Amino acid sequence: MSVMIVERKVLEKNDQIASELRKKFQTKGIFVINLLSSPGSGKTSLIERTAEQLKDKINISVIVGDVQTDNDAKRIGSLNIPVVQIITNGACHLDAQLIKDAFDKIEQEKIDLLIIENVGNLVCPAGYDLGEDKKVVLLSTTEGDDKPLKYPAMFRNSSVLIINKTDLIPYVDASVKEIENNATSINSSIKIFKVSCKTSEGIEDWCNWLLIQIKK
């Protein structure tokens, strides 16, 4: 019982900070996505393709969360967009306080889109509000087609599913249609994009959707 009380207090405090962040983002006209996936699904590659497509149209900033190393931040920073690295030192998710501290380090008057690259994990991040507009879950075809069934909370809480590495479909034992069916059986309103960060297939559709959200 005491464990449940402590967890509830942690989540309540997180939600309070997230609510304050959301108001700040809205006041500044910043559209925020919380990008989630298991390790190796291609979050950083998706951010790179997105930035390449949109950086001349909108102002993008990125907050990167990793258990260790700043390798992803270096990759994103090479595209000349503002990036702040959070190293969690073992923690399996980002929380709203970490985002608040990181956001304070960004030049805030010049952001249209803020991408939060969460720690690679399909469990812990699902329940943490970071003040984002949309949770976006990324699933690669190499992971198989039953991930939505194994991690339903993540797919239930996400507004968007991006199926990545579609170029590998001929070589893996996974069905894009089955991924879609499993995801929509949990969340019937989830929006789905099919992309390949390797070939850039589907990236334009994803970016056009982002532009529409930003202009709302």
Does the structure show a pLDDT above 60 at 6? Answer: no
Q: Where are the domains of the chain?
A: 2-215
pLDDT at 2: 41
For the chain, helix (H) and strand (E) counts, in that order, are 8, 7
Does the structure show a pLDDT above 90 at 166? Answer: yes
Does the structure show a pLDDT above 90 at 110? Answer: no
Cβ atoms 143, 41 nearer than 8 A: yes
Cβ atoms 138, 111 nearer than 8 A: no
Other beta carbons within 10 Å of 20: 13
pLDDT at 76: 83
User: Is 0.85 topped by the overall pTM?
Assistant: yes
Residue 104 amino acid letter: D
- Alpha-carbon gap, residue 199 to 49, rounded angstroms: 10
Mean pLDDT of the chain: 91
Does the structure show a pLDDT above 70 at 59? Answer: yes
The arithmetic mean of pLDDT across residues 191-199, rounded, is 97
2-215 belongs to which homologous superfamily? P-loop containing nucleotide triphosphate hydrolases (3.40.50.300)
The arithmetic mean of pLDDT across residues 176-199, rounded, is 97
pLDDT at 107: 74
pLDDT band at 75 (very low <50, low <70, confident <90, very high): confident
pLDDT at 191: 98
- The percent of residues in the chain predicted with pLDDT above 70, rounded, is 94
Q: pLDDT (tens digit, 9 = 90+) per residue, 116-149?
A: 999 989 998 998 999 999 999 999 999 999 999 9
